[in-house]
Structure 1
Amino acid sequence: MSPFISDERSGALDVDELLSKLTIDEKVSSLAGKDFWHTTPLPQHCIPSIRLSDRPNGIRALGANFDTDLLAKVGQLQGQEAKAKGAVVVLGPTMNIQRSPLGGRGFESFSEDPVLSGHLAGHYCRGLQQENIAATLKHFVCNDMEDERMAVNVMLTQRALREIYLLPFQLALAIGDPQAVMAAYNQVNGTHVSENKELLQSILRDEWKFDGLFMSDWFGTYSTTGAIDAGLDLEMPGPSRWRGRALSHAVMANKVTEAQLDDRVRNVLNLVNYSKASGVPENSPEKQLNRPEDQALLRRVSSQSIVLLKNENSILPFNKSKTTAVIGPNAKIARFCGGGSASLLPYYIVSPYEGIAAKCKQKTVFSQGATDHKMLPLIGDYLKTPQGQRGSIWKAFNEPATSVGRKPIEECVLTDSNCFLMDYDNPELAPVWYAQAEGIFTPDESGLYDFGLGVEGTGKLYIDDERIVSNFKNQTRGETFFGSGTIEEKGEKVLTAGQEYRIRLEWGCAKTSQLPPFGPVGGKHGGWRVGCFKRTDPVQAIEDAVAVAKTVDQVVLVVGLNGELESEGTDRTHMDMSYSSNTLVAGVLEANPNTAVVVQ
């Protein structure tokens, strides 16, 4: 038995013994991540690396059902899903106050009410930690806007801070006993949260008696000694930007005492000990967990979260036997969440059109009517491999596409055409490497199609070996990949309905880009985004939808936001829907008053 293991059966670390044996450099190394999702192991002392994961977006309408028992069940399910993914720390729940409906990450949080937020988050933590998966309250505190989120200084009174912004965290800690808390990016009253001693030490630890781990948000550490002194235990992600040799030097210079260092390391080791009870082995392979009972629970939660704002003239419920049209930009696409780190690919998903059509006894007709995308919608869902599998075949190479006979280093099937390789790694890849993605696209309608390509790196898009889009030279910085990528370059081609077209992307990693690295998340491997949409006349599209509305007994009109309009990294500038959506709603309501409007 190792001298650093205090309990042979559980494998629990003897934290005090370890602290007495670890060198300064070993202690320092444990206070930052190894990579994007893992802590740094010290195998010579039997200290494993543990895996953290962004909270699955799951059901974000939970705040609308006021059912704490249901929250606990959802938390427990997400704990089981975390185990399947080999993760022992879940970076959630998000519980910031939705001070403004324009906030880009408002969809991630529960409510603008601090009491409701605190109770729901606390019971979610209870359920999650029943599986011995550590919950992480985030983002502590006052992180209610995305614009300039790393620089913004939130100025507020002590009363507002205590009664509105801190209260949900205080309640959640008391109810759910989460093992970790994550710092917000922003400043509060002039000091960044990750180095704010009043918040981290005086309130969180001294007053509230929190004894868990306090971590940075990703790239949200801004100092060496200041963050350590305030109480920031773990810098994420790794490798460290602010600790490492700089922190070791600070200890040598007595800018940081070894006692302070031990306090920070103790909290990391305690979290490692907590994670051992989960039974998840180190570097566990990722698996899927998609059981019928899980789908039933999520369906139940979803149905109980629906809010009926108005039912004028008792238009609802609709008659299943009558003719029905489902109209709108969100009708055939399941807009279940906003964009950013909280988004994910669900195991299964049902669009409003699919759900309504399944219930109606007569044929359900569809018309899009309006478009609300900022960039062309992703093509990934509409591609198939030559074997008929959904997605495209992706290959990684150490040589560019011009190299004859190049051999792939790695190959897989991708179902997404928006890929940002922040945490991707393959030891066989050269510092400058390339990739190819190829799939078959079969359009439903004939017409002129627009294709778009945004990259961090370089890229060219081909259809049947004809180059349609080049994003290779004279690049322009845009909003893709948190500002580290280009604008969406576009091309066009006339396609025939039912005909198969071979779509091929040739891509070079971030180091091939003509743009200098930008921001903390860019510059490693890079990414690509491929979109496609049949070009339409917006006026004619609305007229077509209005004509469809006139032919049926009842209409469900689905409008609202999407992952582009509401997303991490940016706030909306206004509360209005797009002009085309407003025009569509007005036209359809006039054509058929028997219309239910669904706003997502």
Structure 2
Amino acid sequence: MTYIDFDEEADVAETTQAMQDAAREVVVETALGALDLDAKTRLLAGQDVWSLPALPEAGLASLVMSDGPIGVRGVHWSADDPSVALPSPTALAATWDPGLAHRAGVLLAQEARRKGVHVLLAPTVNLHRSPLGGRHFEAYSEDPYLTGRIGTEYVRGVQSGGVGTTVKHFVANDAETDRLTVNNLVGERALRELYLAPFEAIVENAHPWGIMTAYNSVNGPTMTEHHHLVNEVLRGAWGFDGVNVSDWTAARSTTGALAGGLDIAMPGPGTVFGEALARAVRDGEADEALVDEAVRRVLRLAARVGVLDGAEPVVTDPPDAVDGEALAREIARRSFVLVRNDNGALPLRPGRVALIGAAARDARVLGGGSATVFPARVVSPLDGLTAALPDGTLTYTLGADPNTELPVADRGFELRAVCRDATGQVLGARSAPSGHLQWTGSDLPEGVTHENLHSVELTGSFTPRESGTHTFGIKGLGPFRLTVAGTTYYDGVQRPAGDDPFLTFFGPPVPHAGVELTAGEPVEVSLTYTVPPAGDHPLRVIGFTLAHQDPQQDADERIAEAAEAARAADTAVVVVATTDRVESEGFDRTDLRLPGRQDDLVRAVAAANPNTVVVVNSGSPVELPWRDDVAAVLLSWFPGQEGGAALADVLTGAHEPGGRLPTTWGSLTDAPVTQVVPENGELPYAEGVFIGYRAWEKHGRSPAYPFGHGLGYTDWTYDSVEVAEAAGTTTAKVRLRNTGDRPGREVVQLYLAPADPDPTRPARWLAGFASVEAAPGDGAEATVELPRRAFEIWDEATGSWSFVKGSYEIQVGRSITDRRITATINV
């Protein structure tokens, strides 16, 4: 019999890795020595929006970056090369499954390599400080421990495929309002225990190859110049050896950014580095030794991903291929959170199903902003249920449209973007996945430059789904010409609505045409934009939108039709949703209400059929004032491209909804932390360490659905918990049993509560979790190791972590409020 000494095996692997790292460092030093000052500073500036320059004299190929985190877009904002679109980060965190996050990372590495991308600009591990944060769908949770666990495995997964990550946005970029200029005032204890904690965990356990510093300031300095947090904490105390890249256009000062520890100022080439940095060194204003340190880190990244000659990449053999569609579907159904299921309304019972809601037909599968990718296909709830249910048992009714303004031209449109010079000569063309066109920097069709580009025409056909008056509009600034079915409806200049041009660029589209069209009969559509002369801004953007809205029937009539459809069915399934004007990068929310008349729709349908199931298609919390009046509520987040298929899996009972809430859901009136708008440029984090469930408990408020909550299709009994301490490690073994009549998965959550209440600490906090699976009647055991950090606080007086001795209760259960069994320990 052969015995394997796993400690010895781990030691061998660690020694091998150290030898490989040392060999790469030799190549890095040689490459560094081959570069003069101009080449070094050019490398730190990037060559365009997404890449660093190749430097043949050092054996360096161009290094390419791309946005994530749910997919890999590549360097072009185009559907010509589609991307797998996974569920939103809130959905991934709702699985409470680090292993699934690792598998998602492996898939994204596979996608990155296919697209020639070396570094993924992800994951986002900022916290849900306030429910009003407009970009929360792109972050994981309100809890730093859960965020760190999911983020760690995501990074490990991506980097196991030989692709770098840039964990972002370092740090306290927890809202969008004035994010470019806001100075967030965060106490040292809250900074350490909450906002820095996920970054620290990921650096320690996943060793990311990159970090992205945020636009905002923290306690004075901007993050691209924050010597203390970057050089002393991130690199010093934590030992981070990767690159620090700025958020795009975030770097403001040549000498300040260099001294603050910034390595790469993006996008290039017109940044605070490059020529400006070389000049500062020659003028004695910047230290070339700091330039060398930054270049050394960039070369180390290049060596790790395999674009530096002579250096063996960290990963020579990528992981086995992953089926992207299958994984996207699995993550989605594992993320769905069943928060209410009265009288076993789900899974669906045999009979007629009335599917209702605009989002059931036109699914919203991802959030707006830099997270946008273009999948090859999208499965809507209507598609998924049509395929899963017996013929003749499903009906569909629109009900209420969540869009309160003209949406982007999308369904029924087949468009191309055609570029012309001043003489009208075609320079190049590219397919357009929708009416929203956004080209940044050099992201132009082949043969097109900003110098020769005079106009861009979005042109193609539109096949209406409904007969009636269709409205067309434009979002953007400048000269436009809009033509539909051979008639020009607008030929003029759209100007700012006020003093701020951004109000027009980011505001709602302006309607310009009402056209009578017939369902199924295609018409030609054209929107031509004349490009203004290029300015001095380093980031050149071509951006405008063709908007379209279907014929608008009276809202009360549509709701009445939906109620009638529900009354004639055995079960009504209503899909409600937010829009990209509610949840997107670039702005925060002002309320938590569903847009449009969707609340009225749910009330009317529930009154017509008590067996009403509501699917909530949003990336972060919304208010559900009718939640006690419906039979079931299922949260589907932004479920990715396979969302409709996954929804059918869960509604029909083929699979159990596996999600648990990563963030508290409640009303804005009750939410303890809501301030996201700075005053005089500053935003105090006055709540300290009390955000999320910590704050809800401190203020004695009851949310609609608590942190960790989620129902399955079976029941669980918690039998016992045993706690053992050995060699400074606390381990809990939890025994439980599936007492229902279906197989299931349970997320066992452990909360740590001091026996002696301390008003400066939360009443309890998440200290560990694990998942188990069991067949009906079978038992299961979860083993959870509680990290030492769970017992520590940041001591502001000493500037260090302090282990708080005393008596603690380990509370085990299904959510922060549903705690089933306890054990007491003294440490």
- TM-score (normalised: structure 1): 0.88
Residue in 2 that maps onto 1:338: 367
Residue in 2 that maps onto 1:581: 598
Task: Give the deviation of 1:536 after TM superposition.
Answer: 2.5
**Aligned partner (choices 34, 38, 50) of residue 51 of structure 2:** 38
Residue in 2 that maps onto 1:441: 462
Report the CA distance shift for 1:581/1:13 in structure 2 as closer, same or farther (over 3 A).
farther
Q: Is the 8 A contact 1:478 1:486 kept in 2?
A: no
Task: Say yes or no: does 1:467 pair with 2:467.
Answer: no
Query: How many Å separate the matches in 2 of 1:487 and 1:78?
Result: 33
Query: How many Å separate the matches in 1 of 2:536 and 2:288?
Result: 35
- After the TM superposition, which of the residue ranges 107-116 and 555-564 deviates more from structure 2? 555-564
**Aligned partner (choices 411, 417, 420) of residue 438 of structure 2:** 420
Which structure shows the bigger proportion of residues in strand conformation?
A: 2
**Aligned partner (choices 159, 163, 172) of residue 129 of structure 1:** 159
Q: Is the 8 A contact 1:476 1:486 kept in 2?
A: no
Q: Is the 8 A contact 1:324 1:365 kept in 2?
A: yes
**Aligned partner (choices 395, 398, 402) of residue 418 of structure 2:** 395
Task: Say yes or no: does 1:354 pair with 2:391.
Answer: no
List aligned pairs for 1:199-210, cutoff 5 A.
199-210=229-240
Task: Give the deviation of 1:486 after TM superposition.
Answer: 7.1
AA aligned opposite 1:217: D
Task: Give the deviation of 1:153 after TM superposition.
Answer: 1.2
Task: Give the deviation of 1:14 after TM superposition.
Answer: 2.6
Residue in 2 that maps onto 1:288: none
Query: How many Å separate the matches in 2 of 1:352 and 1:499?
Result: 26
Aligned-residue sequence identity (percent) comes to 34
AA aligned opposite 1:498: G
- After the TM superposition, which of the residue ranges 412-421 and 582-591 deviates more from structure 2? 412-421
Report the CA distance shift for 1:189/1:433 in structure 2 as closer, same or farther (over 3 A).
same
Q: Secondary structure at the match of 1:247?
A: helix
Residue in 1 that maps onto 2:740: none
Q: Is the 8 A contact 1:151 1:186 kept in 2?
A: yes
Query: How many Å separate the matches in 2 of 1:477 and 1:256?
Result: 42
Q: Is the 8 A contact 1:380 1:392 kept in 2?
A: no
Q: RMSD of the TM alignment (CA)?
A: 2.5
Residue in 1 that maps onto 2:258: 228
Q: Is the 8 A contact 2:409 2:546 kept in 1?
A: no
Task: Say yes or no: does 1:55 pair with 2:68.
Answer: yes
Q: Any idea what the Cα deviations from partners look like across 1:26-68, whole Å, max 9, x if unmatched?
A: 2111111110100122223322211000114222211011111
Task: Give the deviation of 1:443 after TM superposition.
Answer: 1.4
Task: Give the deviation of 1:333 after TM superposition.
Answer: 1.8
Q: Is the 8 A contact 2:419 2:426 kept in 1?
A: yes
Q: Secondary structure at the match of 1:472?
A: strand
- Flag as ranges the 4+ runs of structure 1 deviating above 6 A: 10-13, 477-483, 517-520
Query: How many Å separate the matches in 1 of 2:114 and 2:462?
Result: 33
Query: How many Å separate the matches in 1 of 2:108 and 2:605?
Result: 40
Q: Any idea what the Cα deviations from partners look like across 1:309-348, whole Å, max 9, x if unmatched?
A: 01122221212x3111111231112212210000111222
Report the CA distance shift for 1:188/1:482 in structure 2 as closer, same or farther (over 3 A).
farther
Whose Rg is larger? 2
Query: How many Å separate the matches in 2 of 1:595 and 1:484?
Result: 40
Q: Is the 8 A contact 1:420 1:527 kept in 2?
A: yes
- After the TM superposition, which of the residue ranges 175-184 and 308-317 deviates more from structure 2? 308-317
Q: Secondary structure at the match of 1:545?
A: helix
**Aligned partner (choices 321, 326, 340) of residue 355 of structure 2:** 326
AA aligned opposite 2:489: I
List aligned pairs for 1:375-414, cutoff 5 A.
375-383=405-413, 391-399=414-422, 406-414=424-432
Residue in 2 that maps onto 1:282: none
Query: How many Å separate the matches in 1 of 2:267 and 2:452?
Result: 20
Residue in 2 that maps onto 1:96: 126
Task: Give the deviation of 1:167 after TM superposition.
Answer: 0.5
Query: How many Å separate the matches in 1 of 2:96 and 2:507?
Result: 42
Q: How many residues align?
A: 563
Q: Which ranges in structure 1 are unaligned for 5 or more consecutive residues?
A: 1-6, 280-290, 384-390
Query: How many Å separate the matches in 1 of 2:494 and 2:463?
Result: 30
- After the TM superposition, which of the residue ranges 225-234 and 451-460 deviates more from structure 2? 451-460
List aligned pairs for 1:76-475, cutoff 5 A.
76-276=106-306, 293-319=323-349, 321-361=350-390, 362-383=392-413, 391-399=414-422, 406-423=424-441, 424-425=443-444, 426-429=446-449, 430-470=451-491, 472=493, 474=495
Residue in 1 that maps onto 2:547: 530
Report the CA distance shift for 1:445/1:528 in structure 2 as closer, same or farther (over 3 A).
closer
Q: Is the 8 A contact 2:463 2:522 kept in 1?
A: yes
Q: Is the 8 A contact 2:243 2:263 kept in 1?
A: yes
Residue in 1 that maps onto 2:520: 498
Query: How many Å separate the matches in 1 of 2:28 and 2:503?
Result: 39
AA aligned opposite 2:47: K
Report the CA distance shift for 1:260/1:298 in structure 2 as closer, same or farther (over 3 A).
same
Report the CA distance shift for 1:113/1:482 in structure 2 as closer, same or farther (over 3 A).
farther
Task: Say yes or no: does 1:511 pair with 2:533.
Answer: yes
Residue in 2 that maps onto 1:388: none
Q: Is the 8 A contact 2:480 2:527 kept in 1?
A: yes
Q: Which ranges in structure 2 are unaligned for 5 or more consecutive residues?
A: 1-19, 71-85, 310-320, 618-827
Residue in 1 that maps onto 2:672: none
Residue in 1 that maps onto 2:772: none
Task: Give the deviation of 1:428 after TM superposition.
Answer: 4.5
Query: How many Å separate the matches in 1 of 2:367 and 2:502?
Result: 15
Q: Is the 8 A contact 1:478 1:484 kept in 2?
A: no
Task: Give the deviation of 1:270 after TM superposition.
Answer: 0.9
Task: Give the deviation of 1:20 after TM superposition.
Answer: 3.0
Task: Say yes or no: does 1:568 pair with 2:568.
Answer: no
Report the CA distance shift for 1:304/1:342 in structure 2 as closer, same or farther (over 3 A).
same
Query: How many Å separate the matches in 1 of 2:124 and 2:499?
Result: 28
AA aligned opposite 1:59: P
Task: Say yes or no: does 1:24 pair with 2:24.
Answer: no
Task: Give the deviation of 1:195 after TM superposition.
Answer: 0.5
